[in-house]
Structure 1
């Protein structure tokens, strides 16, 4: 049965009671103790149609036995292929996996949704790579999160569905301010962490992107080694995007320090549902499509210590948006494209089609 036939429907059960079947891919998640950060991230992954199709495709069923991919497959099956009128499920297997991946997540404290998303993508990539789903690529240095916020990522030279969907490449042109010597480097990313203009009540997503890609100067402890001078020098750095990813994940840096005080930026960031254009930030003009459409948002409300995560996701089956607050799911009638709570934005370069995953 194709996935299109698994949408909303209603009927009568054997006991004569009315049974309402939820829309495939739209399912609440139980909170198992401050796990809203995980639930919000998972809802965004449920809405990433190419990832869902890949993991649930018939020729990938062997992934069920993989330590990480298997957990994703089981949960994706329950959300996308589950039967009956159950409006939510408990992601207990995924919670156990998250707890085992890093000590930071092995407790019932609220954690950072962006850090969890990066952890899950890296873990899924490593698992698929080790199971033989790989394709050799170039040997460019592979890092995540972009400038000023870098962490380890999948090892260079291996390609899986994770890297093919989420991986892009940044280009750095560096100029020595003493001898004008030039150098160049590339960094592969899966998430771009964007600064938000300080002391601003309202800004646009383009403002955040422009701030990220603006020319910067590295001085003092951040100086770079100049190949011509042979010593570290003050360096001007121009950042651009050499390769746009298929799925663009943008993390708004709302949490930071103001002196010794930790604070959250509540700036209204205006963002578009479609036509997010990366052309001004490309290393070179591209004939490829570089206009993106929004399909998922992670919101964070409240303060740093007592905050709460929810998600807004677009359904390709109903062409509507839904709000996910743990077990509570509601259709969004009027989607606002500005929010003081937006924390992670997921854009797709290609419009998602209606999934065609066979029923189990």
Structure 2
């Protein structure tokens, strides 16, 4: 199936899950990481897409640290960022090491902000991940803009720069700035539509990434519809997102066998010789079980302190790392 690849440098009430004591025994008191917490998240009706992504992001340590810093900063307006920070802080400050937490405040805010998620239908984890990261980045840039308009930067210095300049990159950009996405560039208006890595059957993620920079021109009957211009345009396309099955009249999951390693060499596909190849470690996998992105169930498998854990909503289990044929989002962390 299609696997979007994410590359990273990377007040709730607590209830105990039935497997909590078992998990503590499996890890062992001597091996249990200091100041670490492993909490499942309650499902509020097909919110596994949200729970699995939140677990993967929580165990992206650079991201978690930045979000927790946000929790300590005063903000007058509730947002997805403040709700995420409250959730992360609630997990990180629990007295117990394992258990279950209901992310109700975050889910409520998510449904309030975006009608796409304001239902009990299954959602696509890739769409949710993109929306969440983009929203947080927008919030941070807006805060930065307001600080500039007030003539003062976060460090207390006076800002004399032009307020109309391009927004500065945020820590979201710094952490996920090498996120790989495919793009469709419309040749008339130059609008870019981000897509995700296409896969081939009986291959590897490394092989798929090698072809990431290949460009295909879409013209004639294959023109793309541009939302900005509201018309079909010629476009340059890099990969497809889902496989459209004529017999089903819909996009469907490709159950291809694609090998992805625990250690990945990300080859330079930018065309710039100065960009070296880099090594990454697999730190999280969001797994999809089902026939299509809008149906089925999502779970997260994360690496924490040299062992692997499976997060299935409120269930948390220690597992042996293994390749998953149903991996949907892979999170790799740069070794440097």
State the SS of the aligned residue for 1:309.
strand
Of residues 281-290 and 119-128 in structure 1, the stretch that sits farther from structure 2 once superposed is: 281-290
Q: CA deviation at 1:188?
A: 9.7
Q: How does 1:112-191 map to 2 (within 5 A)?
A: 112-132=124-144, 157-168=167-178
Compute the TM-score of the two structures, normalised by the length of structure 2. Answer: 0.70
Q: Does 1:264 align with 2:287?
A: no
Q: Out of 193, 196, 215, which is 1:193 matched to?
A: 196
The count of corresponding residues between Structure 1 and Structure 2 is 277
| Counterpart in the other structure of 2:152 | none
- Structure 1 293/67 Cα, relative in aligned 2: closer, same or farther at 3 Å? same
| Counterpart in the other structure of 2:210 | 210
State the SS of the aligned residue for 2:129.
helix
Compute the TM-score of the two structures, normalised by the length of structure 1. Answer: 0.66
Q: Contact between 1:24 and 1:79, CA under 8 Å: does it hold in 2? A: no
- Structure 1 207/324 Cα, relative in aligned 2: closer, same or farther at 3 Å? same
State the distance in 2 between where 1:33 and 1:82 align.
Answer: 25
- Structure 1 67/284 Cα, relative in aligned 2: closer, same or farther at 3 Å? same
| Counterpart in the other structure of 2:26 | none
Of residues 262-271 and 53-62 in structure 1, the stretch that sits farther from structure 2 once superposed is: 53-62
- Structure 1 59/106 Cα, relative in aligned 2: closer, same or farther at 3 Å? closer
Q: CA deviation at 1:306?
A: 4.2
Whose relative contact order is higher, 1 or 2, with alpha carbons under 8 Å and at least 6 apart? 2
- Structure 1 124/117 Cα, relative in aligned 2: closer, same or farther at 3 Å? same
| Counterpart in the other structure of 2:56 | 44
Q: How does 1:265-304 map to 2 (within 5 A)?
A: 265-279=254-268, 281-286=269-274, 290-304=278-292
Q: Contact between 1:292 and 1:347, CA under 8 Å: does it hold in 2? A: yes
Q: How does 1:233-272 map to 2 (within 5 A)?
A: 253=241, 255-261=242-248, 262=250, 263-272=252-261
Q: Which protein is richer in strand relative to its size?
A: 1
Q: RMSD in angstroms over aligned alpha carbons?
A: 3.8
| Counterpart in the other structure of 1:342 | 327
Uncovered stretches (5+) of structure 1, i.e. residues with no partner: 1-9, 11-20, 137-154, 177-184, 225-231, 240-250, 352-360
Q: CA deviation at 1:160?
A: 1.3
